[in-house]
Structure 1
Amino acid sequence: MAQDNRSFESTLHDIVYSIDTGTGLKIIRVTLYFLFLLVIVMLYSATQFRGLKTEEAMDLAQLGRNMTPSGGMVTKCVRPVTMWKVSERTPGENPRIDDHPDLLHPPAYPAVLAAGFKFFEFVGADPFSIPIGSRSATMPAEQWVVLPINHIFTILTGGLLFLMGKRLFSREIGFLGMTIYYLSNVAWQDSISGLNISMATFFVMAAFYAMVVSMLNRRDGSTTAGWAVPFVLSVLFAAIAFLTRYIAAAAVPGIALFAWLMSGRFRGGTRFALVFIVLFMVLISPWLYRNFKISGNPVGMAAHTSLADTTKYPDTQFSRQLHPNFSFGQFSSELKKKWVTNYSENHQSVLPGLGGGVLMSLFLVTFFYHFVRPQVNYLRWGIGLSLLLTTFIAGFFSESSIRMIHVFWPFVILYGMAFFYILIDRLDLGVRLYNVGLKCLLVALAVIPLGLTLMPPHANHPYPPYYAPFISTVSGWLTPREVMVTDMPWATAWYGDRISIQLPKDLDDFYEINDYKQYISGMYITTITKDKPFVKQLLDGPEQSWLPVMSGRTPPDFPLKQITALNRQDQIFLSDRDRWSAGGPVAPAQ
């Protein structure tokens, strides 16, 4: 019996010791840290997420909803400009409205969303149901699929940042870098946007990290598998990053430069860089071939979107062109002006905006400092090259492309923190409390943007023009086989699950589509068009042919004779017959 008591006391002592200093303490710390992270995620989501707010986010979500093994990347958000491109490559100039191929986005992010949607359908839940009379402005799929998937990628990116910091610098720098990332407004802002930036950030980070592991293992004399496996993984991650967002291809030269420098510039390094690029091209070639077969361009019409919101195609005029006439001279002159305009308007929020500018400033200074470890210097030059390429290319495209600079935010944190530690060591303050205080000050400065964001007032619902129950009800007036024309086809395709053609640039193009391409059963016009400047846009501008339609004075030969005003005259719906009386009035947007 005494032996049993001693065994019990010994076991209890081991447990107490483990909790105090051993494995148990680590488990408690990790658990508390995870709970802290969970609180940040829930608090940010609760105060800032009110549903998808951008055209691109809804467009990507509806692509995921439509994606099936047999259908592939088909879209219900049909733009006149893509109708023109598909018609050029299809016998009989058929725009393929019913299974319209998407020519604007790569497939990886919609495929991940599709897997999430299928999981909920598999367990018997409908993530797309919006109850009639619901006051929520979001669809369940946004809250339970889109948002969690992006949060998962953000959390995984923080984990990679820790591993990278631990491998290149120290465990403490990796841990503090990860913590700052989780406390940064930049990371969670991208995470709740519904865009593919969080996923692209993770795979770009993973591609760089796998190459670091590969090159360091090779340098340290590891087995062939020890460096070849992470090398192949780096190629795979880079390919997935490209298939998540095309501009992520800017990371490839940076990774190849790092491999070239680490392998010896004149001792076979070129071979590793070329193998990386060749394998990358092999992995992405099936998707490039798909695009070329459909549109004659390896990236579809993604490059053409650089003409959107230029002086020749202001606002949404580019995507509404049914008979565009593009030329090299047009591209050249318009893109020069657009690049300058983009950065003249956004320069204050591009690079300095990362983390309030403190860590960004430290990161830029590291390019004038030589680290002791060569791999740290080589990686910095690779990251710098990719960052410059991203900044240059993004200037020709949309605001969300410029936000892709956020992909390099983890690297900015890591190098900024490392240089800050070097400065502290050079100061030689002596008293440990001073060092701890300076580190806490840096963390506090980096966290200020997040703190200000979480303070009231919180985010508002995205109406006008988006209100999920309203859009779902209006879209339900059409059957799944019918087609509507609207000025927000991305929203009716996502919330209403209806094939939606974007409002053409003028009435003549509408007649051509209705008479020769696809019969139109309804037209849904919202504040996107109605709120445009009256004289400059509606009376004498590009929307003048639509002004009589919006005013209820349709031309005699207009096919949609029945009209109803919606939501206190904010919107109108036109159809070939009365589809709304039997269902009662639509509840106004909140």
Structure 2
Amino acid sequence: MNEPSSASRTPFIIILILLLAITGVQYFFNFNGLGTDAAMDHAQIARNVARGQGMTTNWLRPIQMVSGSTRAGLNPFLSDAQIHEQEAIRAGQGETLVDPEKFNPYALRDTRNAPLNILTEAAVFRMAGVHKFDLWSMTGSSMIYLPDRIVAGISCMFFILSVLSCYYILLRMFDVTIACFTCLTMILSNLFLQYATSGLPQMMMLFFFAWGIHFLYTALQNKEENRAFLWPLIGSSICFSCVCLTGWIGLWPMAGFLIFAGIRFKPHGLYCIPGLITLLLFLAYPIYINRSLSGGFFGTAYYTIFTGLTGNEEIAMNALVSGSIPIAAQKVVTSVINNILTQGDLLYENLGNLPLAMVFLLALLHKFKRPEVNQSKWGIFAMWVPAVIGMAIYTSNKTGISLGQIQILFAPFFTAYGTAFVLNLIARHSNKELISILRGGVLLLSLLITSLPLLLNLPHIVRVGILTAGRGIPAWPPYYP
């Protein structure tokens, strides 16, 4: 086991300085406001939570309006005359037509989003004081909305924590070279930096996912050394359950984790039970809320299945008949297969343009010397396969940043294993003098391929950022914050 030592402090300090510098440039100079509807959706719900209104949303979805009003005792398909007639009858009895505690069209309870990212934003909003109405207006000459910067700042914080966590975890799994190289590729990848200021929950998911891998690795190591591995396995289950609470798409890799735990740890099938119980405990309250508000366990989150199948979630969200599936079964199968193939075609882009991450699939054929490292790669693969299926179903944007695109979670670990595999091949070269040259050349070339788009644009980003520091450049097309 390669424990962190004083020898690794200098690389760590270099990584930390570069991480803070590049993230600072992205946040202060290259951020132009929230640019995805999902980030805006999370932010407006977090605003309502900070104001003491609970998980309520101002994003009106017809299917939720119909469901909520029906459960409150109002048939929304009645004519205006019939509704007024019912209203008059109830008024004569001293009652209202609809109980506002059960249904309020101006404060619909959200059943679409996972709560953890929203609650984190709400807590920061509350501490910053932006829950007060007068602070939610655009002031001064700045064209960037202040709470937008706060949301982006939260994402940046988790990006920094994720990179530092990956450094520690990969240093323990491999060595300082692989840990440093992997973290450098994360810092210099345009896609990672876009997610870092997007306001999407991917960076928080990556933080919990990385520690889930850490505890899984610890459990495998303890098993090889005939030590107790149940508690690390439960720690891994807690981390992956937090991934699920940050984004519902995390349920797919969680399913892969449960399958792997059930197969890898003997007696077979027994050790997936603690993980399943942990997941159910974490999901109990959201499921209860969804059940009470919509009648279903998954609420309106269920209808996001149409995002990948039809390319547009609103097709289902705007449907007035709950439970209808506006797509033929044959087309469902075809769409899922096509989307899985598309995920494969765009794997390089969705992994952050990290060349050695693609080598992970070849590294599966390589047997690493340490059993826990060798088994961890199969655990990661077991989570990645169902994640690809989930992304095929729930993601309309097959490339770029998207709420349902989580290839970025696997990118650091794919890169680490791919790098270890390539370096092992180089180490077998008969000419010992060429080994160090080949190692340095491969790592430098891979790093240049990843970082070149950022490095070429960095002078322009800094120059424009300095010139527009007082007002900023807003996202286009603009929106009402």
**1:465/1:334 CA distance change after superposition, 3 Å:** farther
More off after superposition, 49-58 vs 171-180: 171-180
* Residue of structure 2 equivalent to 1:57: 39
Matches within 5 A, 1:552-567: none
- Distance (whole Å) between structure 2 residues aligned to residue 49 and residue 342 of structure 1: 31
CA–CA distance in structure 2, aligned partners of residues 426 and 319 of structure 1: 57
2:332 to 331, 335, 340: 335
Instruction: Give how far 1:317 is off.
Output: 4.4
Among 74, 88, 107, the alignment partner of 1:92 is 74
Specify the code of the residue in structure 1 equivalent to 2:411. W
Instruction: Report whether the alignment pairs 1:464 with 2:477.
Output: yes
CA distance in 2, matches of 1:270, 1:367: 24
Match of 2:468 in 1: none
Which residue is equivalent to 1:136? 142
The secondary structure found in structure 2 opposite 1:117 is helix
Contact 2:308 2:393 in 1 (8 A): no
Tell me, yes or no, if the aligned pair for 2:205 and 2:247 is still in contact at 8 Å: yes
Aligned to 1:505: none
Asked if the contact 1:261–1:269 (Cα under 8 Å) also holds between the matched residues in 2, the reply is yes
Contact in 2 for aligned 1:201/1:407 (Cα 8 Å): yes
Q: In the comparison of the two structures, how many residue pairs are matched?
A: 435
Deviation of 1:318 (Å)? 3.8
User: Deviations for 1:511-564, whole angstroms, at most 9, x for unmatched residues?
Assistant: xxxxxxxxxxxxxxxxxxxxxxxxxxxxxxxxxxxxxxxxxxxxxxxxxxxxxx
User: Given the alignment, which residue of 436, 450, 472 partners 2:440?
Assistant: 436
CA contact under 8 A between 2:352 and 2:408: conserved in structure 1?
A: no
Please give the secondary structure, in 2, of the residue aligned with 1:48: coil
Instruction: Between the two structures, name the one with larger relative contact order (CA 8 Å, sep ≥ 6).
Output: 2
Question: Do the aligned partners of 1:47 and 1:454 also contact (CA within 8 Å) in 2?
Answer: no
Whether the 8 Å contact between 2:57 and 2:110 is mirrored in structure 1 is yes
**Shift in Å, 1:419:** 1.0
- What corresponds to 1:451 in structure 2? 455
**Residue in 1 aligned with 2:294?**
295
**Structure 2 residue identity aligned to 1:141:** P
- The corresponding residue for 2:246 is 244
1:189-228 aligned within 5 A = 189-222=194-227, 227-228=229-230
Match of 2:303 in 1: 304
Q: Which amino acid aligns with 1:156?
A: L
- 8 A Cα contact 1:104 1:302, kept in partner: yes
Corresponding residue of 1:110? 118
Trace 1:475-490 onto structure 2 (pairs within 5 A): none
Aligned residues of 1:251 and 1:386 also touching (Cα < 8 A): yes
1:412 maps to what in 2?
A: 414
Query: Shift in Å at residue 364 of structure 1?
Result: 1.4
**Larger % of helix: which?**
2
Instruction: Tell me, yes or no, if the aligned pair for 1:242 and 1:249 is still in contact at 8 Å.
Output: yes
2:128 aligns to what SS in structure 1?
helix
Give the direction of change, closer, same or farther, for the CA distance of 1:86–1:38 in structure 2 (3 Å limit).
same
User: What CA distance in whole angstroms lies between the structure 2 residues aligned with 1:401 and 1:162?
Assistant: 25
Q: How much does 1:347 deviate?
A: 5.6
Pick closer, same or farther for the CA change 1:68–1:47 going to 2, 3 Å.
Answer: closer
User: 2:126 and 2:170 mapped to 1: Cα distance?
Assistant: 36
Contact 1:214/1:230, CA 8 A, preserved across alignment: yes
CA distance in 2, matches of 1:304, 1:32: 46
Aligned residue for 1:249, secondary structure, equals helix
SS at match of 2:269: helix
User: Judging changes above 3 Å, is the alpha-carbon distance between structure 1 residues 78 and 334 closer, same or farther for their aligned structure 2 residues?
Assistant: farther
| Structure 1: distance between partners of 2:132 and 2:327 | 52
Q: With the length of structure 2 as denominator, give the TM-score of the two structures.
A: 0.80
Q: Secondary structure at the match of 1:77?
A: coil
How far apart are 1:276 and its partner, in Å?
A: 1.7
Q: What is the aligned counterpart of 2:168 among 163, 166, 181?
A: 163
Structure 2 residue matching 1:49: 3-state secondary structure: coil
Residue in structure 2 matched with residue 427 of structure 1 by the alignment: 429
Distance 2:230 2:338 in 1: 45
CA distance in 1 between counterparts of 2:170 and 2:109 reads 42
The question of whether the paired residues in 1 share the 8 Å contact of 2:15 and 2:183 is answered with no
Deviation at 1:202, TM superposition (A): 1.4
Deviation at 1:261, TM superposition (A): 5.2
Deviations 1:83-142 (A, max 9, x none): 1222233233555213311111011000000111111119999763411xx543321112
More deviation in 412-421 or 434-443?
434-443
RMSD: 3.2
User: Do the aligned partners of 1:65 and 1:114 also contact (CA within 8 Å) in 2?
Assistant: yes
Q: Deviations over 1:124-171 (max 9, x none)?
A: 99763411xx5433211121x211211121122212222222222223
Quote the Cα distance in structure 2 between the aligned partners of 1:342 and 1:228. 37
Secondary structure of residue in 2 paired with 1:271: coil
Q: Sort the Cα spacing of 1:127 and 1:353 in 2 relative to 1 into closer, same or farther, 3 A.
A: same
Evaluate the alpha carbon distance shift between residue 230 and residue 152 of structure 1 in structure 2; reply closer, same or farther with a 3 A threshold: farther
Question: Are positions 1:374 and 2:371 aligned together?
Answer: yes
Displacement of 1:462 in angstroms is 2.3
Larger Rg: 1
Give the conservation status (yes or no) of the 8 Å contact 1:335–1:396. no
Q: Which residue number corresponds to residue 37 of structure 1?
A: 19
Gaps of 5+ in 1: 1-21, 472-494, 496-590
> For 1:204 and 1:354, how far apart are their aligned partners in 2?
15
Moved more, 274-283 or 29-38: 29-38
Give the drift of 1:386: 1.6
Partners in 2 of 1:368 and 1:403 — Cα distance? 26
Q: Secondary structure at the match of 1:92?
A: coil
> Residue 104 of structure 1 contacts residue 301 of structure 1 at CA under 8 Å; is this kept in 2?
yes
2:95 maps to which residue? none
C-alpha separation in 1, matches of 2:283 and 2:50: 20
Equivalent in the alignment of 2:234 = 232
